[in-house]
Amino acid sequence: MDEPRVAPTEDHGSRRARFPLGASVTEEDLSGPRAHEVLAALRRTEPVTWSPALGRWLVTSHTLAATALRDADTFTVDDPRFSTALVVGPSMLSLDGAEHLRHRTPFVGPLRSAGNSDRVVRWAEGAAARLIDGFHQRGRAELRTELAGPLAVSVIIEVLGLSAPRAGSSIEEQVLAWYRDIAAGVLAVDRGRPVPRPAALAVEALRQQVGCALDAGTADDAARMITTISGSGSLSSDEFFSNVAVVLFGAIETGEAMIANALYHLLSHPDQLTRVVTDPSLLDRAIDESLRLEPAAAVVDRYATVDTTLGPPGAEIPIAAGEPVTLSLAGANRDPDRFDHPDRFDLDRRNTGAHLSFARGPHACIGSHLARLETRVAISAALNRLSSLALDEAATTAPSGLIFRKPASLVVRWSTPRRATPS
Ligand code: HEM
């Protein structure tokens, strides 16, 4: 979250007076256990509010968030303050209009195909089985860090074709280390600091890894997404790299959170879990309902390109050109104007898919098919391989977080076969 480039049209005192609830909300309120309560209160009385804690406008209504997502001419990502671009370079995530399309288009088809590919399903099933085999005998595990996270990172590495051999640590460990340094770099830039050295080094190391993977080539080149896309020639090598980086990093924390949240919701609703086990065709609905309740990426940021307004008819709020706007997908997804009994995890909900968890409009997530694939694989593997799987409620926490929402701890138990006792 960064500081507004343009001074608010009103002084901060009068904004606080106009948006008293927004003024009282802290970052902790929006990320902690009360987040949905706080978002609901904002949506009721100040669906577009000024948040001094974030230094941004905050939108919690479904209709208004969807309107802003679709209107990139008015609410853009293309702004010099966009911190990811300052760290990894301009990419589809930080551009709008024709340039955005030029950066995004080469990746759309290949990622969609990967998300519908039987080969990727089989690969992910193998990876999930190996992870579970690693802890099966224990009868207890923390599934976010032991299953969801490692599966999400290994699937995207495999799909991109990034796994050229490296000495020392595994490619997964390397990528996670780079991700941590780059994410910390993005945060530092958000807070007005220069790009930290570890982030710059991580970007360079990843650039080399992409180069090695391209050079390595294999008999299975057709399956290597980066080889196919770089061969299409529509992006310069810097542009290609920046977009590979956002695809790679776009999949890691979100993928982990999506899988962990779906497991959390199913395991904390045993009645609905039983229905999914009995009728696996309900699994996709369960995944969508979990996405609605806890979008892995809870907010997206935009900048007003012109003086504009946003708000329900008759109560439009003026927003000045250059002001930053945060769209709360978590708030929009529980809007009672869009979803009946929005706080319920309900497999029978007819319009579950109307959630905004993969955004809408020109920046709608291009990894959604792949993310669904890996979530289906992870849940099926856990349910099929871990008999009588149950949440350890005392050791598990509900999803939380301001930008990414996931359980800090998702501890489960299952029954293990008795070991043969030596005679
Ligand atoms: C395989 C996993 C994933 C990949 C490869 C991926 C990749 C991407 C990419 C490259 C974009 C930028 C698209 C653009 O700007 O044109 C994007 C956008 C987005 N993704 Fe994903 N993503 C993945 C998983 C997820 C998950 C699990 C979620 C949340 C549940 C998610 C939520 C979003 C959202 C909200 C946006 C819009 C960002 C914005 O408008 O500023 N993604 N994704």
Q: Tokens representing 203?
A: 């970007």
Q: List C-alpha distances in Å: 24 to 19, 61, 105, 386.
A: 9, 19, 42, 45
Strand partners, 75: 304
The predicted structure's pLDDT at residue 180: 95
Pocket residue to mutate for ligand 1, from 104, 289, 365, most atoms within 8 A of Cβ: 365
Strand partners, 319: 308
The predicted structure's pLDDT at residue 9: 54
The predicted structure's pLDDT at residue 2: 43
For the stretch 274-311, pLDDT in tens is 999 999 999 999 999 999 999 999 999 999 999 999 99
Nearest CA among 399, 395, 387 for reference residue 411: 395
**Mean of the per-residue pLDDT values of the chain:** 93
- Does the beta carbon of 370 lie inside 6 Å of ligand 1? yes
- Does the beta carbon of 297 lie inside 6 Å of ligand 1? yes
The predicted structure's pLDDT at residue 227: 87
Alpha carbon distance 124, 130 (integer Å): 10
Pocket residue to mutate for ligand 1, from 88, 179, 254, most atoms within 8 A of Cβ: 254
Q: Are 329 and 15 a contacting pair, CB within 8 Å?
A: no
- Does the beta carbon of 154 lie inside 6 Å of ligand 1? no
Give me the residues of the chain with pLDDT under 50, please: 1-8
Determine the atom of ligand 1 nearest the C-alpha atom of 69. Answer: 40
Determine the atom of ligand 1 nearest the C-alpha atom of 95. Answer: 15
The predicted structure's pLDDT at residue 112: 97
Distance 174 CA to ligand 1 centre (A): 22
CA-nearest residue for atom 5, ligand 1, is 367
Domain regions of the chain by residue span: 12-413
Distance 254 CA to ligand 1 centre (A): 8
Distance 9 CA to ligand 1 centre (A): 33
The predicted structure's pLDDT at residue 3: 42
For the stretch 333-363, pLDDT in tens is 999 999 999 999 999 999 999 999 999 999 9
Q: pTM of the full predicted structure?
A: 0.95
Q: Is 146 helix (H, G, I), strand (E, B) or coil?
A: helix
- Does the beta carbon of 95 lie inside 6 Å of ligand 1? no
Distance 365 CA to ligand 1 centre (A): 4
Distance 247 CA to ligand 1 centre (A): 8
Determine the atom of ligand 1 nearest the C-alpha atom of 246. Answer: 10
Beta strands in 235-329 (DSSP E): 299-304, 308-310, 317-319, 324-328
Contacts of 255 (CB under 8 A, 6+ apart): 148, 151, 152, 153, 155, 156, 296, 367, 371, 374, 375
- Does the beta carbon of 77 lie inside 6 Å of ligand 1? yes
- Does the beta carbon of 290 lie inside 6 Å of ligand 1? no
Distance 364 CA to ligand 1 centre (A): 7
DSSP 312-366: STT--EEE-TT-EEEEEHHHHTT-TTTSSSTTS--TT-TTGGG--TT--GGG--S
- Does the beta carbon of 287 lie inside 6 Å of ligand 1? no
**In CATH, what number does 12-413 get?**
1.10.630.10
